[in-house]
Amino acid sequence: MRLFTAIKLDDDMREQLISAQDKLRSIGLRGRYNKEDSFHLTLAFIGEYDDPQAVTDALARVRFEPFMLRLSGEVGQFDGFVVWAGLEMTDELRALGEAVRQELSAAGIPFDQKAFNPHITLLRLARGEEIDAAPEVSVGSAEMNVEHFLLMRTAKDRNGFYYAEIGRFGK
Ligand code: 2AM
C-alpha cells in the first residue's frame, strides 16, 4: 500500500488555502486543484510498503511535542507543475521532520530522500499551463496548533483517489 506521514490542517488554514486556490482560478490557471478535505503537509513520503505495523511502530518512537504551524504566505512551484503554499520552517517543524525520517531510517523503512521542504499542494497544472516563477498570488496568514501527526494511506474508490488515516501519533 502507498503510505506517507502528514499533518492535517484545521479549518482556518484550509480557508486561506481555498481562497488562494480561488485567486489562482481567477487568473485563469487550469489544472487539478486539490480538494479542501485533502489538504495536508507531508512530512515523509514512504510510497509502496506492505508492513504498516512496522511503520506504526517506528512512528510511535518519535518524541512529539505540540507546536504552532504557520503559513508563510508564499506561493511557489516545483518542477513547473506543482503549485504550492509554503509554511514557515520553524525549529519545531524541522525537528519533527527530522525525527520522523530518523525513526523510519532506523527501522529500515524506505522513504523519499528529497530534502524536507514544507508545503501544501494547491494544484497540479494542466499540460501547457505556465505560471510565473514568482506568481502575484499570495496566501493570507493563518496558524494552528499541531497536536498530532498521521500515517496516511492513498486509497482509491470509484470517485478517484482519497487519503485515509491509518495511525495517529502525539496527543
Ligand atoms: P505533495 O506533498 O507535494 O502534494 C501523497 O502522495 C502525498 O505525498 C502527496 O502530498 C505528495 O506530494 C507527497 N509526496 C512526496 N513525495 C512524493 C513522491 N516522491 N511521490 C508521490 N508523492 C509524494
Distance 147 CA to ligand 1 centre (A): 22
The per-residue pLDDT for range 123-150, each reduced to its tens digit, is 999 888 887 755 678 899 999 999 999 9
Distance 150 CA to ligand 1 centre (A): 14
Tell me how far apart the alpha carbons of residues 158 and 100 are, in angstroms, rounded to a whole number.
32
Provide the grid cell at 164.
485515509
Of 45, 104, 113, 117, the one to substitute when testing ligand 1's pocket (max ligand atoms within 8 A of C-beta) is 45
Is residue 67 within 8 Å of 23, Cβ to Cβ?
Answer: no
Is residue 9 within 8 Å of 143, Cβ to Cβ?
Answer: no
The beta-strand segments (E) located in the chain are 2-8, 31-33, 40-48, 67-78, 82-87, 119-125, 143-146, 148-157, 160-170
Tell me how far apart the alpha carbons of residues 103 and 56 are, in angstroms, rounded to a whole number.
10
Which residue in 135, 129, 62 sits closest to 92, CA to CA? 62
Q: Which domains, and CATH codes, for the chain?
A: 2-170 (3.90.1140.10)
Q: What is the pLDDT along the chain (171 residues), one digit of tens a residue?
A: 999 999 999 999 999 999 999 999 998 889 999 998 889 999 999 999 999 999 999 999 999 999 999 999 999 998 888 999 999 999 999 999 999 999 999 999 999 999 999 999 999 998 888 877 556 788 999 999 999 999 999 988 888 888 999 999 997
